[in-house]
Amino acid sequence: MTERIVAWFNPFSGIAGDMTLGSLLDAGADLNFVINILNNLNLDNWDLKAEIVDRNGLTATRAVVTTYEEHHHRRWKDIQQVLQSAEIPERVKIRALAIFEALAKSEGAVHGIPFDEVHFHEVGALDALIDIVGSCAALESLAVTEVHVGPIAMGIGTITAAHGVLPNPPPAVIHLLKDFLTIGVDLNVELTTPTGAAIVSALAISSGPMPSMTITGSGYGAGTKNFPERSNTTQVIIGIATSDKSSSTNSAEILSELTTNIDDVTSEYLAHAMTKLKDAGALDVWLTPIIMKKSRLANTLSILAKTSDAHALTNILFELTGTLGIRKSEVYRITQERRVIQIQIDGQTIDVKISANRIKAEFEQVIAVAEILGLSPIDVARQAEQLAANQLA
């Protein structure tokens, strides 16, 4: 069986064409191989170099594309002709065409015109052609057979493009990344560009955690800017895919964690706040005893929530605790695949959760059934879980 060589992109600070190319060069793609393929596009007035830079303490490769032509608006048909007539490896050609087709369709959808009539603006420039075809050539240099992508960071605010001021992330990026896992980052910067979004949209066969693989290399591609609190890079990890039989049934999602330190609220009020937060949609709420300055006893109140619920839960937390500050961070939650079966005990129904490593009766239902039947909750739970295990045998 042919080895499956995987490239998993981790756009924790977004992704752009030059960052993609830089990450692959940093992971070991041959720059001369890439340049030779680009030369076969028969396009003049460009130059590509790779330079090592520092991005917030992380060493990365920046792909520096220099062009010597005026900004050029190319049509989708023009780019098709350039790529189809070029003597380049077939997989490079197929991947590059797929990326530009994805861009054309997204631009067409956003502006309400047929995709084959789209005139590219920023992405039609010569440097974007170099970034996209260069990235495909770098994948070929590394013999990558499949591409995957992790959660993609998106900024906020506005950007200025050929069509004027647009929301950030821009409409084309949103269209390209439909059904992809994304992360909102509180930076008024275009972290993910249409070119970067198109590359992963066209090539990635999964969106989520890193697939099972034996890691053989990795790299970081640098963006132009240097952020004070975040490395402006795209990470790529290269590896040999492991057998499907060993793949995990776990799933992962990006959630928000809200935390605040409280030293002047009684336990009764904290218990009330925790109940209200759960009722409002918090996935989990917990208290951790801490010691604050001047040796004051206090608690850290933590909330795990869907990102879409974080704002509303923050307001509830301010209102019910009077805290003056709340910390918010993005976290992975990895959950094991599970299902629920219903068990009957003397005519009473109890839900039992089944996972690969555990069988667990629903506690509140166990208590209710124990009260009705006059039994010990421990005995009811043990009986329900044993009946569930028997069904699975």
Span 171-219, pLDDT tens digits: 989 999 998 999 999 999 999 999 999 999 999 988 989 998 999 999 9
> What residue numbers bound the domain in which 174 lies?
5-246
pLDDT at residue 341 greater than cutoff 70:
yes
Residue 362 phi, psi (nearest 5): -65, 120
pLDDT at residue 162 greater than cutoff 80:
no
Residue 1 binned pLDDT confidence (cut-offs 50, 70, 90): very low
Residue type, 42: N
Crossing angle of helices 194-203/126-141, nearest 10°?
40
HSE value, Cβ hemisphere, 13 Å, CA-based, for 77: 4
Residue 73 binned pLDDT confidence (cut-offs 50, 70, 90): low
Percentage of the chain modeled with pLDDT above 90: 66
Q: pLDDT per residue over 113-135, tens digit each?
A: 766 655 565 545 788 899 999 99
Report the pLDDT value the prediction gives residue 374, as an integer from 0 to 100: 94
Task: Select from 246, 281, 303 the last residue of a domain.
Answer: 246
Q: Residues 214, 195: one domain?
A: yes
From the list 163, 162, 196, the residue with the least C-alpha distance to 182 is: 196
Task: Put the strands of the sheet holding 297-305 in their side by side order.
Answer: 284-291, 297-305, 251-262, 327-335
HSE value, Cβ hemisphere, 13 Å, CA-based, for 170: 27
Q: Residues 176, 33: one domain?
A: yes
- C-alpha to C-alpha distances, 272 to 69, 258, 276, 302, nearest whole angstrom: 66, 17, 6, 14
- Burial classification of residue 244, based on how many CB atoms lie within 10 Å of its CB (0-12 exposed, 13-18 middle, 19 or more buried): exposed
pLDDT at residue 391 greater than cutoff 70:
yes
- Burial classification of residue 376, based on how many CB atoms lie within 10 Å of its CB (0-12 exposed, 13-18 middle, 19 or more buried): exposed
Which residue is associated with the tokens 């044993």?
386
**Cis bond before residue 169 (omega within 30° of 0):** yes
Number of domains in the chain: 3
Q: Residues 256, 241: one domain?
A: no
Q: Residues 226, 269: one domain?
A: no
Residues near 319 by beta carbon (within 8 Å), at least 6 away in sequence: none
Mean pLDDT of 132-151: 96
Q: pLDDT per residue over 99-111, tens digit each?
A: 998 988 887 777 6
Report the pLDDT value the prediction gives residue 44, as an integer from 0 to 100: 87
Instruction: Give the CA diameter of the chain.
Output: 86
Q: Residues 139, 234: one domain?
A: yes
We report the CATH number of the domain holding residue 306 as 3.30.70.1380
On whether the CB atoms of residues 193 and 128 are closer than 8 A, the answer is: no
Q: Residues 101, 190: one domain?
A: yes
Residue 140 binned pLDDT confidence (cut-offs 50, 70, 90): very high
pLDDT at residue 248 greater than cutoff 60:
no
Which residue is associated with the tokens 């218990």?
271
C-alpha–C-alpha distance, residues 40 and 68, integer Å: 18
**How remote is the C-alpha of 253 from its chain's centroid?**
9
Q: Residues 206, 329: one domain?
A: no
pLDDT at residue 245 greater than cutoff 90:
no
HSE value, Cβ hemisphere, 13 Å, CA-based, for 294: 2
Q: Residues 47, 130: one domain?
A: yes
Q: Residues 62, 132: one domain?
A: yes
Q: Residues 133, 217: one domain?
A: yes
Report the pLDDT value the prediction gives residue 70, as an integer from 0 to 100: 59
- Assign 3-state DSSP to the chain and report helix, strand, coil percentages, each to 5: 40, 35, 30
Q: Residues 220, 279: one domain?
A: no
Q: Residues 316, 345: one domain?
A: no
Task: Select from 225, 246, 267 the last residue of a domain.
Answer: 246
pTM for the complete prediction? 0.65
Report the pLDDT value the prediction gives residue 306, as an integer from 0 to 100: 85
C-alpha–C-alpha distance, residues 97 and 80, integer Å: 7
Task: Select from 298, 315, 335 the last residue of a domain.
Answer: 335
